[in-house]
Homo-oligomer: A and B are copies of this chain.
Amino acid sequence: MIIIMRPNASQRAIDKVTKQVEAAGLQVHLSKGDEVTIIGVVGDKSKLHRSNIEISEGVDKIVQVTESYKLVNKKFHPEDSTVTVKDTQIGPDTFTVMAGPCAIESHDQLLSCAEEVKKAGATVLRGGAFKPRTSPYSFQGLEEEGLQYMEEAGRTTGLATICEVTSLRALDMAARYVDMLQIGARNMQNFELLKEVGRSGLPVMLKRGLAATVDEWLNAAEYIISEGNEHIVLCERGIRTYETATRNTLDISAVPVIRSKSHLPIIVDPSHATGVRAYVEPLAKAAAAVGADGLMIEVHPCPECASSDGPQSLTFDQFAKLMADLKPYVELAGRR
């Protein structure tokens, strides 16, 4: 931590800050420039509330030198992690495609999806049983009934399964039926839920919050890993910006940024990022080319009849074509 004093800070103010730091058992390194004095802090900074120094007399600003996340930080764990879900591995050597409907609507809908996405090459089946919807009057999900279909689909096809959980109740229920949990964008900073998912020990996919910085996202992952669960996959799904031509703005740079800051795998969800079916294919290729570890794609037997997110869902034929078209890109990236 570095404390930058104002140009006109008095010696008294500098001495006061110095004492505050030393009182917390830390050492200071003073550096007096022509214009400003800078106070470097050495030692375990968790003993010191950054924000309180910030309002001491004469302090201009504080610069944090080290990140607040530790266990997900690449600095302390340079090798990229691989997360195993059933028979699927998500990490630097593979390109994993998770596919399925936005919401589970019926036995037939889900089972037909499962068969088709497996045939096309996906290895994880997605499907929502608890739907966080902007309006209370929209379809909210089949809950346990949907989870039972997921369990059956996973059993009969061999696919791994993933389902979003939106509360501790949903988590307890889902943990009995699916192989991987998903934390959605709206719950990225639902810290109680993150801790509980951490305690569950189940593989988890953590979507980026709608307006979350990369740092906040990695700190959210730190909540999970600090409870002992390191089976975490990140998912970039678009952020909120002023642009309305797409539902969200896919921050594709987040893939190399995360790669440089963390060892966790990261996949891309082009369906939610754009909200437009026609853009899913080009963005899926871009994700493979940029170095993502996989994709999450929405597929529906009849997008026109979907109870949620129809416009961004691919038909079975479109999905099969996408997977075929993606193949050479995945090979170019040196993945299987």
Chain A interface (Cβ < 8 Å from any Cβ of B) = 2, 4, 7, 20, 29, 31-36, 38, 40-43, 46, 49, 51-52, 54-56, 60, 63, 65-66, 68-70, 75, 132-138, 166-170, 186-187, 189-193, 195, 210-211, 213-216, 219, 222-223, 226, 239-246, 249-257, 260, 273-274, 277-279, 282-283, 285-291, 303-311, 328-329, 332
Contacts and interface: CB of A to CB of B under 8 A. Distances in A.
Contacts of A286: 252, 286-287, 289-290
Contact of A282 (B36, B42, B291): B291
B277 A253 contact: no
A277 to B, nearest CB: 7
A269 to B, nearest CB: 13
A289 B164 CA distance: 30
Nearest to A325: B332
A307 B49 contact: yes
Contacts of A239: 241-243, 249
A260 B243 contact: no
A contacts with B: majority SS:
mixed
B192 A167 contact: yes
A241 to B, nearest CB: 5
B213 A210 contact: no
A15 B31 CA distance: 18
Contacts of A186: 189-191
A55 B303 contact: yes
B251 A243 contact: yes
B282 A255 contact: yes
Given A134-B216, A168-B168, A306 B49 contact: yes
B242 A256 contact: no
Nearest to A76: B7
A304 B240 contact: no
A215 B260 CA distance: 29
Given A213-B244, A245-B257, A285-B290, 4 more contacts: A46-B137, A52-B303, A52-B304, A256-B283
A65 B5 CA distance: 9
A206 to B, nearest CB: 14
Contact of A69 (B52, B135, B240, B309): B135
A136 B311 CA distance: 33
